[in-house]
Structures are given as structure tokens and as C-alpha cells.
Structure 1
């Protein structure tokens, strides 16, 4: 438990809205093992800034760090705590690219944006790990690649096509056969895997807290427990109202993604919210730990209801999938995780899950219809980016820098990696959320038995 929790702190989605009490299923293992966050406090009184940033996750913190390092004095407003949203809840895979295949991404965006975005995202993991080294962020960084695994013929064909498309662009991804996949995953279950050496894993909440400390050290001002409740523009400035004060800013970067409420709730409403959960075993004995992901890559598979698995620094096996650890899904998804571990890693059996997991948690992914992020101009000097589709770490980091470059004039809309688009809420948003959760429950009820 963090110092803030001990003090009785409460949290809320970044950007505004009522505070809600934290529980152990929000940040789980990451809250248990992350270094303490830098000391911050709620904003009180009147604060002036040329650039204000709303949201204290990967994107907002990366933007703050980039701006501070370039000589600016940004103000970051986080409604709850550093990394409260998806940044502190995810699996911790630092991937290159988005879910869609490279050719599909390029075709969807067209030129010049398609290849421009692929280059940015392909280099994104290297930028994450460079920041970790430069600022000595203690976040269990493992820049050793990731494994995209296939257990069916359809999945194998998917990996073969992904390998072909990346290799055509000069990327040294490698398709592994069943035997090598078994050695690198520790599981006999998969037919093949695509090894991407650009990628890796981190402890995501620790990374967010480290970015915050680096930004503060570079000159950014960061306020937590500071939800923005109103936003107006007058005389060329924005006034951001908070419970105990206000900020006057020339420009605003909105980085709230799926957790935004208050003045920018429309950003979250254009995303279909999908829950993703993780369950972590107690630390595995060294002999067993050596048989699972011995190279310490993170992994996920080609299933429609995806599975992910990785180890943390202490040898805890973290298994995750689509679904919310709430209501009827709590017991169902937890039981699925137990069965899945036993099936994927028969050397473990059930001895490490029969008495319960060491931690379990879940969060919200913001999905777009084409699985690509969105760049918006919300007003003069106000920009936003959202829709990471479950790929928040590396894209969030580089897009934070992109937003900073746009705000300080180093980029313009014509040279940005994404086109500026309007906000278009998806049809049947609530029904689609129910569909995804119900589909995950059905799949997990039947799977790995």
C-alpha cells in the first residue's frame, strides 16, 4: 500500500468527476511492488502556466517531461494519483506497433500518415527504454523482446503474415517453430511464436511514477488529487477550474484517454471500454522459474479472447485476459486463470494457484473501431490524443512527446504522425461493452477445461 493510501487518499478518473475509494483490484501487484511516488499535493489557489496538461498517465507525464526538458514550465493536473488509470493497471508489455498489421495500418491512414506512424511506433520501445536508462527509473525494465504466440493453424497464418509485413520493412522479427517456441515460452501448447526484439516489459506503475519524478526534476509542476471540473476560454487563455483553485493557461494538452470525465468526457465516450484483468501467482521457486519464459520476454497470443503471460522481477507469473474482476466475472475469470496456468505450464500444476493468487486486478482499455489512436483539436491551442487500444506504454510515451512538440511548435498538423480528426462517438457503445464482457465470460467458462 502506498503512503497516499495510508493517509486515506481517494482516487478518481483523470480530468474530473467524483472521487472513488481505491481497492486492491485496481492496481494489484504493481501497487504492491512499485517504488513510492514523488511527493505531490492538490492544487490550491491560482496558478499560471503557458501549457497545462490534464492527466497523469504515460502520455501526460511524457509530455510534461519533454516540455520541461525543452525549457518550458508545464503544469500537470491529475484528478487522482500518478498512473491511476490504464497506465498503472496494464500487463506491462512494451510493444512496437498497434494491434493491426503494418499493411492494414498504412492502408487505413494512407500517406503520409501510415508509414510515418509505423516508424514512430516501431521505434517507441527504444524510446521508452532510453528514458528508463537516462532517468534511472526503477521499473524492472526488460528490453529483451516479446513473443506473439499461436496455438491454431489460423493463428500461425496470422503470425506468418505479420512476420512478412514487418520483415518487408526491414524489421528483424523472427518466426519461431514449435520447438523453439516451447523453449522460449516454457509451454508445449503453442505451434509458433513471433519474436519481436524491439519490445520488452516493464513494471508499468513504477514507470509512470518514474516519469513523474523525472518531469518534476526537470521543472514540471505536478498536482495530484486535482480534478478539472470546468474549462472556459477568455482573452486568449483557458481557465481550468478545480475544487480548490484554478489554472490559467495559454495551451492545454488533454491526456485522459478512457478515464476522462468532466469537461472532456466526450473523449472517453468515443471509445468502447473493454476490461482487462491480470492474476499473479506467488513467486515461483527458482527451478520452476527457469522453465518459464527463461529469456524474460512478455507474451500474448492470437486468440480472439486474448491471453497474456509474463514474469515479474520476483518470479511471479502474471496471466491476463479480457474481462472485469467484478460481479459474476470475478470468480469466473479467476477460475479461468487457474486452469490456464495449469494447462499452459503443466510443470506448475495447481500448487501455485490452489490457495489463491498473490494479486489480481483489472482496468479499462479504450478501443476505437479501427484499433488506431485519435488526435483531436478541441479548440485554439487545445489538443488531445486517445484510443490506445491496449497498447498504452510505448505509444503513450511517444505520443506524449508528440503532443509536447505540437504545443511548443516543433511539429504542426501537417508533420504530425496522425491526422487531426473530429470526435465521433461509436454506435451502441454500452451494448458493445456488454457484448465484450459477456463474450469473455462465455469463452472463459468453457476454456482450459
Structure 2
């Protein structure tokens, strides 16, 4: 089975590898949302930009995620402020609250064909006790003036079409997109603005000397640039000269049905929202423009684990939507998420004239778009104040591999236990 987003993307994009020596004001490494947003905005500001992607545009998390364009982070606003301090926390909260508007604005301005639906998202209570957390999140978002609504069980079941939810938090700022098509559309827009994008151009070496960055690729290309943005996130391939701190990685997989007949689909998320639940081992569910139902869950579906994870998904679909019990999946794919220890994104200085942005902890679309633009402004204009979160000289996660193993073990145990309980 294949990645639905790759099979259904209306946007196409292709670029040749870099096989020559070129100069730039800004070199960007990574063709996901952060790098593409940076390239687009820097090029629109008149900078000469060269972007290098090791594979294809959107090959990492930007082409593998759920496609939920959410406002903010996993952490609610008061937790962000507590972690960063009131001033920095308020700046980041405000920037990311406006993130969906920025994403949907770019889609409209550049005519990106990525199935945008701005009907909001539903954070669903997987059990009655989970409503306490949703009430806390609702109170914080409402206090900041966000258009959010807390739904009781009956309202949430009507909005989702699922008897398995016990309430929900609706955020009208949010929505859904076809995530790979959005990435390709950003690439097209950046190229149209004058940025030079190169696929299949893995950076193998970097060095900084006398105010200049020099990058070399495995295909014989070379870039000399005044500024560097490393935007590789969970798919970082460390070049010689610029390694990044490790983060924990969390794997997330998705399966999609074939397009369903209108009568069969009518009761499933009839308002077009995207949804996910409050479970520690989270589940997501949404529809696409063709009428497929897409279910996601935590875990790395490889080897024997694939049997547990995919078996859980088949049962979960029927639990959420009894009318779809037994419906087969046609597509299956997975990706990985960079999870920082405090669940906050990081902007790291790479000596003088360089930044790395990473660690969205599962909220990459809007934050990646916002922080990519901000990083471009900070680098091209030599103005770190453009960043909504302060750049730091170091980041240390004491046990990223252990946390990665815990995430996978927890997901496997949960999905495996669900299978045993079903018997």
C-alpha cells in the first residue's frame, strides 16, 4: 500500500540536483514546511536563495503528516508561558495562534491546490474523564480570545458521527489540507519568487569561515552563502561540520480507505473538521476531498509490529464508525516526529550567520510555516528579534533514544492489548 498524499496530490513539483558551484544570500537545507516557507519569504524580500533537499520536496514529515492545520502547540498557552516566561511565551502564543491564517493565506495567495477546508478541528475526549483537560484548554484559549467551543458528548457525537467520543473542543481557527500538496505548492511559489530549489541534493559537508558558509553536496554541487538555515527536523542527515542535537522521535502511521459512496460517508465528520483524541496513545481521523476516511495512530508499523498496529486500526475504524466496520484500507504510510523534552520548538544558533529550527512535537504545518518565515527575516535582515521564540546557543536532551523507545513500546503495548481484549 502507498502513501495517499503522494498518490492524490494535485500539485506537482520537480527540481534538478545541484551539480555546480553557486552563490547565495541564504542557503536552506531541507525541503519541508520550514525550509520552503523561509525560501519563499526570503526570495520575495529580494534575497538570492538556494534550497537543498536530500530527497524530494516533502519527502519527510511534510509529506507524511495528518494534514491538521492547528493553532498553537500541543502545550496549552499558559503552559507555554510558564516554560518560556510571560514575554517570550506571549510572543510565541500570539504568532502560532495566527498560524492557520498564515497557512490558508499563503494557499489562497499562491493558488495552492491542496484541498483546503477551514471548518476547524475537533479535539475529542476518548473517555469521560478526559473532559477535564479539554475544559482547561478551552478556558485558556477562550481567555486569549480564541474562537473555541466546548462540546458535550451529544454535540461531539453529532459533529464527528462517532458514538465513541465523550465531548470535544472545537477550534474554528483550524482546518485541514492535503499536506504534501501544500509543500509542493510552497515550492512552486518559492521558485516563482526567484528561489533556486534542488532535489536529490544531500548536503555532505558544511563549514563557516570569514563570514561565509560553504556547503557541498554528494552530487558535486557547492553553495557559498552569507547565511544558513538548517530545516531538517526529524529527518536530519548530519553533514560533516554541522551536527544537530538529537531529539526523541515518535512514529505515526496512517491508513486510508477507498473513496466511499456519499450515503456511506454522510455521517462521518459531516462538517469537514479534522479530529484527534485525548488518548496518551493518540488516534486521528479525518476525511479527504475524494471521500476517503483516514485513520492515524502512534507507532512504527514495521516487521511484526505492523500486524499489531494495522490490526488495531481496522478495529478502531469500526469502533469509531460502526457503519464502516470491515471497510478495507487502500493506502498505508508512516512518518516520524521530532519531540523535544519540553514539547516546545527550538531555534538554535549555528555559530554566526546560521540557524537551525526543529522539534515541533507533532505540530509542524502552521508552526513550520510561521517559524520558517521568521527565520528568513532573522537571517536575511540580521534581526533575531523577528523570531517569536528566542534563538539559543545549545539544546540538550539527556535521553532522546530512551524516550523514543518508550514511545514505541507504549504504542505497541496499547495496540497489542487492544487486540487481546478484542478476542
Q: What CA distance in whole angstroms lies between the structure 2 residues aligned with 1:426 and 1:446?
A: 30
* Structure 1 contact 270–423 (Cα < 8 Å) conserved: no
SS at match of 1:35: coil
Instruction: Report the counterpart of residue 361 of structure 1 in structure 2.
Output: 333
* Structure 1 contact 59–399 (Cα < 8 Å) conserved: yes
Instruction: Report the counterpart of residue 373 of structure 1 in structure 2.
Output: 345
Match of 1:422 among 370, 393, 398: 393
Instruction: Report the counterpart of residue 256 of structure 2 in structure 1.
Output: 280
SS at match of 2:296: strand
Seen in structure 2, the aligned counterparts of structure 1 residues 337 and 387 have a Cα distance that, compared at 3 Å, is: same
Residue 234 of structure 1, CA deviation: 2.5
Residue 302 (str. 1) matches residue 278 (str. 2): yes
Match of 2:54 among 67, 72, 79: 79
CA deviations over 1:119-144 (Å, ceiling 9, x no partner): 10000001000000000000011111
Residue 107 of structure 1, CA deviation: 0.8
SS at match of 1:325: coil
SS at match of 1:112: helix
Instruction: Report the counterpart of residue 181 of structure 2 in structure 1.
Output: 206
Instruction: Report the counterpart of residue 445 of structure 1 in structure 2.
Output: 416
SS at match of 2:56: coil
CA deviations over 1:155-213 (Å, ceiling 9, x no partner): 10000010001111111200011111111100011111000000000000000000000
Instruction: Please give the TM-score of this superposition, normalised by the length of structure 1.
Output: 0.91
Q: What CA distance in whole angstroms lies between the structure 2 residues aligned with 1:364 and 1:189?
A: 27
Residue 236 of structure 1, CA deviation: 1.8
Residue 57 (str. 1) matches residue 24 (str. 2): no
Q: What CA distance in whole angstroms lies between the structure 1 residues aligned with 2:37 and 2:209?
A: 28
Instruction: Report the counterpart of residue 7 of structure 1 in structure 2.
Output: none
SS at match of 2:10: coil
CA deviations over 1:70-123 (Å, ceiling 9, x no partner): 111211000111001100000000000100111111110003110110010000
Instruction: Report the counterpart of residue 170 of structure 2 in structure 1.
Output: 195
* Structure 2 contact 54–200 (Cα < 8 Å) conserved: yes
Match of 2:356 among 362, 368, 384: 384
Instruction: Report the counterpart of residue 302 of structure 2 in structure 1.
Output: 326
SS at match of 2:86: coil
Residue 105 (str. 1) matches residue 76 (str. 2): no
Seen in structure 2, the aligned counterparts of structure 1 residues 414 and 398 have a Cα distance that, compared at 3 Å, is: closer
Q: What CA distance in whole angstroms lies between the structure 2 residues aligned with 1:447 and 1:283?
A: 27
- Flag structure 2 segments of 5+ consecutive residues without an equivalent: none
Q: What CA distance in whole angstroms lies between the structure 2 residues aligned with 1:169 and 1:102?
A: 9
Residue 420 of structure 1, CA deviation: 1.8
* Structure 1 contact 37–82 (Cα < 8 Å) conserved: no
Instruction: Report the counterpart of residue 4 of structure 2 in structure 1.
Output: 29
Q: Between Structure 1 and Structure 2, how many residues are aligned?
A: 418
Instruction: Report the counterpart of residue 43 of structure 1 in structure 2.
Output: 18
* Structure 1 contact 96–122 (Cα < 8 Å) conserved: yes
Seen in structure 2, the aligned counterparts of structure 1 residues 158 and 265 have a Cα distance that, compared at 3 Å, is: farther
- Flag structure 1 segments of 5+ consecutive residues without an equivalent: 1-23
Match of 2:403 among 418, 432, 447: 432
SS at match of 1:379: coil
SS at match of 1:358: strand
Q: What CA distance in whole angstroms lies between the structure 1 residues aligned with 2:269 and 2:242?
A: 40
CA deviations over 1:347-370 (Å, ceiling 9, x no partner): 2221x12xxx11001111000111
Match of 2:377 among 368, 393, 405: 405
Instruction: Report the counterpart of residue 148 of structure 1 in structure 2.
Output: 123
Residue 131 (str. 1) matches residue 106 (str. 2): yes
Counterparts of 1:343-358 in structure 2, within 5 Å, are 343-350=319-326, 352-353=327-328, 357-358=329-330
Q: What CA distance in whole angstroms lies between the structure 2 residues aligned with 1:60 and 1:195?
A: 30
Residue 415 of structure 1, CA deviation: 4.9
Q: What CA distance in whole angstroms lies between the structure 1 residues aligned with 2:303 and 2:393?
A: 35
SS at match of 1:401: helix
Residue 402 of structure 1, CA deviation: 0.4
Instruction: Please give the TM-score of this superposition, normalised by the length of structure 2.
Output: 0.96
Seen in structure 2, the aligned counterparts of structure 1 residues 36 and 94 have a Cα distance that, compared at 3 Å, is: closer
Residue 341 (str. 1) matches residue 328 (str. 2): no
Instruction: Report the counterpart of residue 4 of structure 1 in structure 2.
Output: none
Residue 414 of structure 1, CA deviation: 4.0
* Structure 2 contact 233–358 (Cα < 8 Å) conserved: yes
Residue 184 (str. 1) matches residue 159 (str. 2): yes
